[in-house]
Amino acid sequence: MPLPAPATYALTIAGVAKSFAQGSLAIAETANGRNTIRLTILSASYRPALDAEVILTENGIRIFGGTINGTTESGHGRGTIAVAVSAADFNGLAEQQHVPTQPPAGTLKAFLTAMLAYLPGVTLDPAQVTGPTIPEVPVYYDKVVRDMIGQACALAGGYVFEIDYNKVLRAFLPSTRAAPFNLIEGDGHAIGDITVEPQRTAGKYANRVVVMMGQGAATAPS
């Protein structure tokens, strides 16, 4: 059986094509959190800026989009530096601006549309469902866009939201979305498949058992 053709990757940082060191690429996708990417760039003097946009495609398909949140520089020899770049996906855009006005009550879709004013470069998914009508989401001092959308999704009955790698905002019920792939032992989607890592934390050397009692809870070491 012939081997599959190797994947072709294309990386841009701040719109400029870059190459990354072989074996340095790692993408982590986290449920209810921000997806992240790590890679290393070898060069004579290149140092990417914080908040620069990182776009990575595989065979022409975008598999990551986000902004740099950290870099680590070290020497690599013969006048070359190695810059380890870490970036998080575009969901972070919802953490950068505050909502200064009171959005009106209405459908979930109408609320999301109103939030686009505080999400530069973000568009609403054309397939976004209208969703239920929700009451007015109160604006408090120092309330960021993420908290506003999160509260609206909770009022809508358990919706969750995301800003994907293409800067598209959507809200959906978890039961309506399928996982990107099934976890099957040895299928190659996860390096080493599922890894279990027992750990000890100082001062917490026992497992914890939660026992529900009446209207409260009690914990005991085991």
SS3 call for 172: strand
pLDDT over 70 percentage in the chain: 75
Q: Work out the average pLDDT over 64-88.
A: 90
Higher-pLDDT residue of 88 and 140 is 88
What is the pTM assigned to this prediction?
0.72
**Residue 182 and residue 60: Cα distance in Å, rounded?**
23
* Tens of pLDDT, residues 14-39: 999 999 998 899 998 876 678 999 99
* Amino acid found at 173: L
- Looking at residue 141, what is its pLDDT? 66
* Superfamily of domain 9-90, CATH level 4: Baseplate protein-like domain - beta roll fold (2.30.300.10)
90-105: average pLDDT: 88
Q: How large is the average pLDDT for residues 186-194? A: 55
* Of 165, 160, 175, 151, nearest in space to 121 by CA: 165
Domains of the chain: which residue ranges? 9-90, 96-222
Q: pLDDT digit string (tens) for 123-172?
A: 999 999 999 999 888 877 678 999 999 999 999 998 999 999 999 999 99
Q: Which two tokens stand for residue 202?
A: 């100082």
Amino acid at 207: N
Residue 115 φ then ψ, to 5° = -75, -20
Question: 153: part of which helix (H) or strand (E)?
Answer: helix 145-155
The pairing of strands 80-89 and 36-43 is: antiparallel
Place of tokens 């505050």: 98
76: pLDDT strictly greater than 90: no
- What is the reported pLDDT for 218? 47
Residue 186 near residue 195, CB atoms below 8 Å: no
Is the four-CA dihedral 55, 161, 132, 181 of positive or negative sign?
positive
Higher pLDDT pick, 191 / 100: 100
CATH no., domain 96-222: 3.55.50.10
The confidence score (pLDDT) of residue 30 equals 76
pLDDT score for 217: 45
Which is it for strands 168-172 and 208-213: parallel, antiparallel or unpaired?
unpaired
| Distance spanning both ends of the chain, measured CA to CA | 53
For the cut 90, the answer to whether the pLDDT of residue 205 exceeds it is no
